[in-house]
Amino acid sequence: MIKSKRLPSSALARLQALPARAAALPGLDALWLFGSHARGDATPLSDVDLAYLEDLEAPRRDRTPAFDARIYDALSGFLGTDEISLVDLETAPPALALRVFREGKLLFCRNPRHVADVLERVLIRYPEVRRLIVQGLEGEERGAMEIDRDKVLAQLRLLDGDLRRLREKASLAAENYLADLDAQDAVLRRFQTAVEACSNIGNHLIARLRLRVAEDYAGVFTVLGEEGIVGRELAARMAELARFRNLVVHMYWRVDHARVFSEMAERIRALEEFQDSVRRFLAPPGPQESKA
């Protein structure tokens, strides 16, 4: 079926006033314009693509399609057209949410923490995304937000469990390790999950502190090094570990198990240093730092 219904010119004019209208809608945490109207290549037949986040802490018994319907009615009524598509970022497929963050224009934000949480989930699902562009928040909302210490500490506990198992395998004699396929598989799996825990921590800090968004696993640690959260030399070693993780996941048959064993102690030290660096970063400032 060929679409023939055109968007009224009045709707295009009212797009400029949409942020103010969104701010007046109760229960709305954020609203984005994405698609052709955000990119600037819309035609008269293009729909208006909008994405939103609902206030999950609003006093409602449950989240129902009724909120989506109310938002749709309010926005379509304001624009004077029903030629709009509306996406709930909480329930959208990650690929679509990624598209909104990459190309969308943030029109309104009442709750930057909610936006950061959703972005973090997308980054974890798509850690190797290229050229992710996150729209800045206006005014004070552009600043850093509080880090969820419990979330970071939970990832550190997972990392600690991986490190314990890796130390056990590192204590084996080389000939015993190379003759034990189960030990080799366990080491590769533990390195994979350890790097992923570190990457999850990094993505959380990047999202909450409004840092440059990394392009891939290795880039997460590069950003942390640029910002002084970890040392630059450690960031480079962690980036190498991230590339090793990619080899394990995507090209397992190319893994040299003798080399894995010979480099295991150094890689364990890098993970331990990362763990210590994050804990220092989370620690409250001492008396001298507080006075500074």
Q: How far apart are CA 125 and CA 102, in angstroms?
A: 14
pTM: 0.58
Residue 105 dihedral angles phi and psi, to the nearest 5° = -115, 120
Instruction: Please spell the DSSP secondary structure of 180-232, one letter per residue.
Output: -HHHHHHHHHHHHHHHHHHHHHHHHHHHHHTPPPPSSHHHHHHHHHHTTSS-H
Q: How far apart are CA 215 and CA 151, in angstroms?
A: 22
* CATH number, residue 121: 3.30.460.10
As given in the structure block, the two tokens for residue 205 are: 């800090």
Q: How far apart are CA 80 and CA 11, in angstroms?
A: 6
Same domain, 100 and 159: no
Same domain, 99 and 212: no
Q: How far apart are CA 40 and CA 37, in angstroms?
A: 5
* Domain annotation covers residue 53: yes
Number of domains in the chain: 2
Same domain, 121 and 202: no
* Domain annotation covers residue 3: no
DSSP 8-class letter at 7: P
Same domain, 201 and 248: yes
Same domain, 272 and 154: yes
The residues, any chain, with a CB within 8 Å of residue 179's CB and separated by 6 or more, are: none
Same domain, 63 and 162: no
Q: How far apart are CA 64 and CA 199, in angstroms?
A: 34
Same domain, 198 and 239: yes
Angle at 278 (CA atoms; ends 221, 117), nearest 5 degrees: 75
pLDDT of residue 38: 84
Same domain, 190 and 118: no
CA dihedral sign, ordered 173, 177, 180, 183: positive
Residue that finishes a domain, picked among 109, 125, 141: 125
* Domain annotation covers residue 264: yes
* CATH number, residue 247: 1.20.120.580
pLDDT of residue 8: 64
Q: What string of pLDDT tens digits covers the 292 residues of the chain?
A: 333 455 566 667 788 889 999 999 999 999 999 888 888 877 766 778 899 999 877 655 444 557 878 888 898 888 888 778 888 888 887 777 888 887 889 999 999 889 888 888 877 766 544 333 333 333 334 455 678 889 999 999 999 999 999 999 999 999 999 999 999 999 999 999 999 999 999 988 988 888 877 777 888 999 999 999 999 999 999 999 999 998 898 888 889 999 999 999 999 999 999 999 999 998 876 555 444 4
Distance in angstroms between the alpha carbons of the first and the last residue of the chain: 67
pLDDT of residue 213: 74
Same domain, 35 and 84: yes
Same domain, 106 and 161: no
pLDDT of residue 193: 95
Q: What residue spans of 42-148 are helical by DSSP H?
A: 65-79, 94-103, 112-125
Question: Smallest Cα–Cα separation from 273: which of 227, 212, 210, 225?
Answer: 225
Q: 190 lies in which domain range?
A: 149-282
Classify 210 in phi/psi space as left (phi over 0), alpha (psi -120 to 50) or beta: left
pLDDT of residue 267: 98
DSSP 8-class letter at 31: E
Same domain, 121 and 154: no
Q: What H or E segment, with its residue span, contains residue 105?
A: strand 105-109
pLDDT of residue 29: 93
Burial zone of 169 (CB within 10 Å; 0-12 exposed, 13-18 middle, 19+ buried):
buried
pLDDT of residue 58: 62
Count other Cβ atoms within 10 Å, centred on residue 177: 19
Q: What H or E segment, with its residue span, contains residue 30?
A: strand 28-34
* Domain annotation covers residue 132: no
* Domain annotation covers residue 187: yes
